[in-house]
Amino acid sequence: MRYVIKRDEDKTVRLASEATLAALTLIVNTRNLTLISDAVYRETYNTPDGRRSRVEDQLSIAYQYKCAYCERLTKADIEHYRPKKGISEEAGHLGYYWLCYEWSNLIPSCITCNRDGAKHNQFPILGPRVAGPSFLTDGQLDLALCRAHTAPLLDEMPYLLHPEIDHPEDFFEFVLDPNGEGIRITGIDGQLRGQRTIEICLLNRLELRLDRAESVISNFKDGIHGLLVQLQAGEIDQLQFKAQLLQCIHLLHTLTLREEKTHTYLRKYIVRTPQNFRDIVIPYLDPQAADIVSEAFLLYQERGVLG
């Protein structure tokens, strides 16, 4: 998960239209949830390469074609952050039907993060549950109070973090899986919002743990291994080895700025402190490289720049 800025002006023309507002008003006034239409919140169209969604296209601008929760490149589905039809935790609640077309409630999620058994209709909260929409004095739906960023919705204090509101560094760290099956994400905040988000979206499922290691560490590991082989074969000397080692570490830092890469937050985490680097990256390297790579990492951080 990473923090995302999604612009209001990137909403599709249809979502922003008067026709959609009229359709939403009818849903709100009748509470007829069968009127909620994926033609509006998804807006699919056909291409020679398969079906696409105009809403997803727009969400992809902000989310860089990544799932909002697991941060892998994916064919995302449109996920309603607050479930539009019923909430797993509250049988009597109709769901947040008035947010079915609300831009701040639409998030791109991979099918695995959003499936039944993962996020689906779960929406546990710490604060008071909002029972229904707010209205203006003229009886119209108060659209300003439909935004996830403002009260009363914000006061619900959802356990599930919102990528456009919450910053992952306040909620998550990473550790190696004790059984050698990749990298686990862990919750760190006292309210357990990070931990519950991990549980809701199954963010420690096996394929994700393995993918974190493969996507973020593997190239660096191979680079260091290659340098060691060259050094041992006498193809490079110690000085060249150290210079190229610093280049590899520089690349790790550079990749943290590439928001289009998978697992951006993990990339930032592993180079944030020497301790994080030692805990997450070093165990993947050839044992004989551990000390020299740790020293080079410290040297790189002290210099602040390469060279």
The torsion of the CA quartet 207, 209, 212, 213, rounded to 10 degrees, works out to -110
Q: Is residue 36 close enough to count as binding Zn ion by CB under 5 A?
A: no
Decide if residue 70 touches Zn ion (CB under 5 A).
yes
Measure the CA–CA gap between 79 and 121, rounded to whole angstroms. 10
What is the rounded CA–CA span in Å between residue 263 and residue 194? 16
Give least dist CB 201 to Zn ion, A.
7
Segment interacting with Zn ion, rule: CB under 5 A, options 3-11, 107-115, 163-171, 222-230: 107-115
**CB nearer Zn ion, residue 108 or residue 187:** 108
Tell me the window of 11-19, 108-116, 123-131, 264-272 that interacts with Zn ion (CB under 5 A). 108-116
Please name which of 242, 260, 259, 254 lies closest in space to residue 298, comparing C-alpha atoms.
242
What would the x/- binding string for Zn ion be over residues 174 to 203, using CB under 5 A?
------------------------------
- Among the listed ranges 56-64, 103-111, 266-274, 298-306, the one in contact with Zn ion (CB under 5 A) is 103-111
Judged by CB under 5 A, which of 15, 24, 27, 113 binds Zn ion?
A: 113
Q: Which is nearer to Zn ion, 120 or 278 (CB)?
A: 120
For residue 135, what are the β-bridge partners? 141
284: helix, strand or coil = helix
Angle between helices 264-272 and 238-255 (to 10 degrees): 130
What minimum distance in Å lies between the beta carbon of 113 and Zn ion?
3
Instruction: Name the minimum Å distance from CB 107 to Zn ion.
Output: 10
Q: How far is the CB of 149 from Zn ion (least distance, A)?
A: 22
Provide the 3-class DSSP secondary structure of residue 23.
helix
Which of these segments, 42-50, 62-70, 145-153, 175-183, binds Zn ion (CB under 5 A)?
A: 62-70
Of 28, 59, 62, 67, the residue at the interface with Zn ion (CB under 5 A) is 67
Of 1, 106, 110, 245, the one binding Zn ion by CB under 5 A: 110
Contacts 24+ apart (CB under 8 A), 218-227: 218/284, 220/248, 220/251, 220/252, 220/281, 220/284, 221/284, 221/285, 223/248, 223/251, 224/248, 224/285, 224/286, 224/289, 224/293, 225/285, 225/286, 225/289
Task: Enumerate binding residues for Zn ion (CB under 5 A).
Answer: 67, 69-70, 110, 113
